[in-house]
Amino acid sequence: MPDIIAFGSDHAGLALRAEAVRVATAAGFQVEDLGPFSTESVDYPDVAALVGQAVAEGRARLGVLVCGTGIGMSIAANKVKGVRAAHCTTEYEARMARAHNDANVLCVGERVIGLGLGGAVVAAFLSQPFEGGRHQRRVDKISALDR
Ligand code: RB5
């Protein structure tokens, strides 16, 4: 699988998405920015589907989605088979989402955490590996719920 991180947002997440792309690029990750590229209003499920499918189909290893709260993106992305999307508001949650849940999509809310904390949450998510071990069995049980 290519070591690419896919990014997307709605109109309420444009600035934090730009910061997330900056943080990922500075950390050496290969970035696929799926937009949008104007300030026009867009529906977050459309972008969640784009990023979720990129991850589920193996075109990206991880995804990052930004909306106003992070909630709508996480609800929508988790409808894509193979996606384990985690809505995180702290660096601890972001690390645990990777380490224990093998989350493959991070959802964050620009209106909730802003750019400073948001960038740190993204950096924590991207740098934390899955721990495997006992957590693999539980993740396998999550995958078994996909149908
Ligand atoms: C857009 O106004 C807002 O509803 C959206 O960005 C997000 O917060 C939804 O969960």
The predicted model gives 40-57 an average pLDDT of 98
User: Of 86, 126, 130, 138, whose CA–CA distance to 109 is shortest?
Assistant: 86
Active site residues: 67, 100
- Give the rounded percent of residues in the chain with a pLDDT score beyond 70: 99
Asked if residue 1 has pLDDT above 90, the reply is no
User: Of 29, 33, 35, whose CA–CA distance to 3 is shortest?
Assistant: 29
Asked if residue 2 has pLDDT above 80, the reply is no
Whether residue 69 has its Cβ less than 6 Å from ligand 1: yes
Q: Quick check: 73 and 65 in contact, CB under 8 A?
A: yes
Ligand 1 atom nearest to CA at 111 = 8
Domains within the chain, CATH numbers bracketed? 4-144 (3.40.1400.10)
* Residue 147 pLDDT: 79
Q: What is the mean pLDDT of the chain?
A: 97
The predicted model gives 125-142 an average pLDDT of 98
Token pair 């990206």: residue: 60
* Residue 89 pLDDT: 98
Whether residue 71 has its Cβ less than 6 Å from ligand 1: yes
- Give the pLDDT band of residue 7 (cuts 50, 70, 90): very high
Asked if residue 118 has pLDDT above 80, the reply is yes
